[in-house]
Amino acid sequence: MTGYSTYVTYDDIYRAQRTIAGRVHRTPVISSTYLSNRIGARLYLKLESYQKTGSFKVRGLLNKLESLTEEQKANGVITFSSGNTAQALAYVASVAKIPAVVAMLTGGDPGKLEATRNYGAEVVLAEPLEIRNVTERLQKERGLTYISPFDDLKVIAGAGTVGLEIMEDVPKADMVLVGIGGGGIVSGVAVAVKSQRPKAKVIGVEPEGAAAMSRSLEASKVVTLDSVNTIADGLAAPFAGEHTLPHVQKFVDEVVIVTDDEIAEALLLVLERCKVLIEPAAASTVAALLTGKVKPAPDSNIVCVISGGNISATKLKTLIN
Amino acid sequence: MTGYSTYVTYDDIYRAQRTIAGRVHRTPVISSTYLSNRIGARLYLKLESYQKTGSFKVRGLLNKLESLTEEQKANGVITFSSGNTAQALAYVASVAKIPAVVAMLTGGDPGKLEATRNYGAEVVLAEPLEIRNVTERLQKERGLTYISPFDDLKVIAGAGTVGLEIMEDVPKADMVLVGIGGGGIVSGVAVAVKSQRPKAKVIGVEPEGAAAMSRSLEASKVVTLDSVNTIADGLAAPFAGEHTLPHVQKFVDEVVIVTDDEIAEALLLVLERCKVLIEPAAASTVAALLTGKVKPAPDSNIVCVISGGNISATKLKTLIN
């Protein structure tokens, strides 16, 4: 953690905001009368589903790439991902003119593979049990810099810019809900929100089938799950991060767990009522409210971070009864 | 047509804009890099799917209600609809504090029925072959004013405000595509666009299974179809209007026809790529471009009017292969 403080600070996030400004979208916040009535409080959705590449991931990754040395930039970067990080890294690397390699799973979604290639990254295919080794080997052979999708203070600070925008658009927010996969965005958003409005609550939401952060909080150390099983692929990280766990311990008020059925119901309600397509990871935050697992105070201002909108029509179909 | 000119004018639309301002949404225009690349021109979507009640209908209906005499307002209004007009009239009548009755089909979508009631309208159920008679009988018995969903100059002028907003947000629009059911919105938008930018083309789009306007244009008179059959329920009017046909003849450059399959494909592409849920009627405009039935000039600015977003998840599921 050379050169970093242990925790991301407001200043880190503010600097990240200036670093990425103009190269990622300032995404909109919308409100929904219907959903507000359902939960008995004013509900706002921060739509990172409209972000470049369809998720918030570009924010942290671009902030990270811009922190590299000129030599690191020239040599290029690598990550492994079959989800939003793949496309996001490919995109921001092309924006920052840095060569990028993404190790993706053989037999993964062809659409995501194609999108990652179209953004200009070199895609290397690997089997699930080999993908970490392949990434490490390529990193060493080619002198690439490995980029973590969430467990990195620059990545956390970049994701935290979502929180700064929320506080600009909903300055009286009383509660902000954020999904937890590895814990990158919840860490950054919690710092941003608490620094601006200490009394606002920040709630993390995990899917039942990949609740690594809840397990890690219980154990007070990073726990790796034997397996994950959830429709919320964006939250399916099997472990919390060494950086993100302490952030969640310090800045997040509560972590709640929702089921796949609850996530699917929330996703379809947002689709039909708000007319926006969000991915299961994002719908988890709305599910936490609709199920009553999180109960907002009457007339309070609640913000759900809608982390992304990347779900294929084919997968969507499986969620509709 | 007492008190009206034969054609709606720019002034009528401008006045409508002032009449309805603050009581309906100023809807956003978005662009899509992916869709722009697909059609070889800059594509913008005017999202009336985010309008109050999920469709543009509120604009024309509110403009119409505000033109009624105090006596007419006190007595109330009636229409028949099982679609967007039902909810829209119920909503704007409650906004304008005017009693409203909507005749809807027995066995229609329970969600739409409930929504119409929730907006405060009295819903009367009728069989398909009886619905016109029921409407007429109630209108007479109770001294209600019948409101046409499209064939009325005030309604056309209100719908035309969509065109004024397009010209504010995309002042260099070279082509605007609008779906045609009864022809209300295409008439109003065409007048608005041509008055601001005479060289811009306005293209109407009809579904193959309900091409009443194309048939009427061929016959140079209003033609009533024996039956309609299309997934685009918002465009399923079986006849053009006595007011709308002359507007289309005078102000619309071309009317093209798309199939249900083409509409479904466009809807799903917008859903996956732009993350917005639009209804089949709205997707018809995008389909006209994706199929190459309408070929924009390279680098030109094209606007598709996305007339609404009211489609249930259940119906959406039937469109996904």
Task: Enumerate residue ranges in chain A where pLDDT < 50.
Answer: 1-5
B249's enclosing H/E stretch is: helix B244-251
Residue A129: the pLDDT is: 83
Q: Answer whether A283 touches B (CB < 8 Å).
A: no
**pLDDT beyond 80 at B146:** yes
Among chain A residues, CA nearest to B310: A272
Is B272 near chain A, with CB under 8 Å?
yes
**pLDDT, tens digit, 9 for 90 and up, residues B68-97:** 999 999 999 999 987 899 999 999 999 999
pLDDT at residue A172 in the model: 98
Distance from CA of B228 to the nearest CA of A (A): 26
Contact residues on chain B for A275, CB-CB shorter than 8 A = 49-50, 54, 276-278, 309
Residue B3 confidence (pLDDT): 37
Q: Do B317 and A317 touch (CB under 8 A)?
A: yes
Chosen from A267, A275, A278, A312 to mutate, greatest number of chain B CBs within 10 A: A275
Any B CB within 8 A of A320 CB: yes
pLDDT, residue B107, reads: 82
Q: Return the pLDDT at A112.
A: 85
- Which one has a higher pLDDT value, B128 or A293? A293
pTM: 0.93
pLDDT over threshold 90, residue B2: no
The residue length of chain A stands at 321
Which residues of chain A form beta strands (DSSP E)?
29-31, 42-47, 77-80, 100-105, 122-126, 145-146, 175-179, 201-207, 254-258, 301-306
> Which percentage of chain B shows pLDDT scores above 90?
90
Q: What is the mean pLDDT of chain B?
A: 95
Determine the residue among B275, B277, B307, B317 to mutate to test chain A binding: the one whose Cβ has the most chain A Cβ atoms within 10 Å. Answer: B275
Do B181 and B240 touch, CB atoms closer than 8 A? no
Is residue B274 within 8 A of residue B249, CB to CB? The reply is no
pLDDT at A128: 82
B276 vs A276, A313, A314: nearest CB: A276
Selected for mutation to probe chain B from A29, A91, A272, A318 (highest B CB count within 10 Å) is A272
Class of domain A10-55+152-319: alpha beta
Whether B286 shows a pLDDT value over 60: the answer reads yes
Could you tell me how many CB contacts below 8 A there are between chain A and chain B?
44
How many angstroms separate the CA of residue B279 from the nearest CA in chain A?
10
A239-276 per-position pLDDT tens digit: 999 999 999 999 999 999 999 999 999 999 999 999 99
pLDDT digits (tens, 9 = 90+) for B152-180: 999 999 999 999 999 999 999 999 999 99
B74 contact partners, CB below 8 Å, separation of at least 6 = none
Return the structure tokens found at B284: 């018809």
pLDDT, position A164: 98
The pLDDT, as a whole number, for residue A107 is: 82
Q: What pLDDT, on the 0 to 100 scale, is given for residue A2?
A: 39
Above 60 in pLDDT, residue B1?
no
- Report the greatest alpha carbon distance in chain A: 58
Closest chain A residue by Cα to residue B275:
A277
Average pLDDT over residues B281-293: 98
The answer to which of B60-69, B123-132, B156-165 has the lowest mean pLDDT is B123-132
| Residue B128's pLDDT band (cuts 50, 70, 90) | confident
Identify the pLDDT of residue A1: 37
Q: Say which of A272, A309, A320 has its CB closest to residue B275.
A: A309
Residue B166 is predicted with a pLDDT of 98
What is the full DSSP assignment across A49-84? Answer: GGSGGGBTHHHHHHHHHHTS-HHHHHH-EEEE-SSH
**Contact A309/B at CB under 8 A:** yes
Q: Which residues contact A89 (CB under 8 A, 6 or more apart)?
A: A57, A61, A77, A79, A81, A100, A102, A121, A147
Minimum-distance CB partner of B54 among A268, A275, A312: A275
Spatial contact of B313 and A313, defined as CB atoms under 8 Å apart: no
Q: What's the CATH fold of domain A58-146? A: Rossmann fold (3.40.50)
Any B CB within 8 A of A29 CB:
no
Distance between CA atoms of B184 and B252, rounded to whole angstroms? 12
Q: Has residue B110 got a pLDDT over 90?
A: no
Residue type, B81: S
Pairing of strands A29-31, A42-47: antiparallel
- Gap between the terminal Cα atoms of chain A: 48
Provide the pairing of β-strand B42-47 with A100-105.
unpaired
pLDDT score recorded for residue B82: 78
**Distance from the B265 Cα atom to the nearest Cα atom in chain A, whole angstroms:** 11
Q: B182 phi and psi, to 5 degrees?
A: -85, -20
CB neighbours (10 Å) of residue A36?
17
* B-chain residue closest to A28, CA distance: B28
Subunit contact B276:A271, Cβ cutoff 8 A: no
The domain segmentation of chain A, as residue ranges, is 10-55+152-319, 58-146
pLDDT at site B111 = 82
pLDDT at B112: 85
Instruction: Say if B275 is an interface residue toward chain A (CB within 8 Å).
Output: yes
pLDDT tens digits, residue range B14-59? 999 999 999 999 999 999 989 999 999 999 999 999 999 999 999 9
CA angle B223, B227, B229 (to 5 degrees): 120
Four-point Cα dihedral A30, A32, A35, A39, nearest 10:
80
Q: Which residue of A has its CA nearest to B316?
A: A317
3-state secondary structure of A254: strand
Q: Search chain B and give the residue with CA nearest A278.
A: B275
